[in-house]
Amino acid sequence: HTVAVRVKLARRVEIEEVREAFASFTSLPQELKLHSAPAQPIIVRDEADRPQPRLDRDAGCGMSVTVGRIRPDNVLDYRFVALSHNTVRGAAGAAILNAELLAATGWMTGRKGRRGDGETV
């Protein structure tokens, strides 16, 4: 999937803050180091012509989302293009990662809502 996005933010930010927010994003699958979770769920490309399906669909073994063409927008605040692999990150990969997350947080064993360290999630 490729999507062109325009966003209005809650506060004024510089373009580098937008870029860094994408580049530094992680979530529970990364914290738990789940097998199917990419180490870097969002990869930022700075080239003017990226992302491109042919070049970027397999980023993070197909499980990362590639974001690029981040730029100011005249109507809203910023615009960017995001790309993900339809099968790997979409249907199949997401199902596997969701199952890993359910297992890791105890939803399949009756210890639901707990991480491996016992903290509630």
Structural domains of the chain sorted by starting position, each given as residue range(s) with its CATH number in brackets: 2-85 (3.30.360.10)
What does the pLDDT look like over 56-70, one tens digit per residue? Answer: 999 999 999 999 999
Contacts 24+ apart (CB under 8 A), 71-78: 71/15, 72/15, 73/6, 73/7, 75/6, 76/6, 76/7, 76/8, 77/7, 77/8, 77/9, 77/12, 77/13, 78/6, 78/7, 78/9, 78/15, 78/18
- Can you list the residues of the chain whose pLDDT is less than 50? none
Give pLDDT, residue 16. 98
pTM score, whole prediction:
0.84
Across the chain, the runs of DSSP E, i.e. the strands, are 2-7, 42-45, 65-72, 78-83
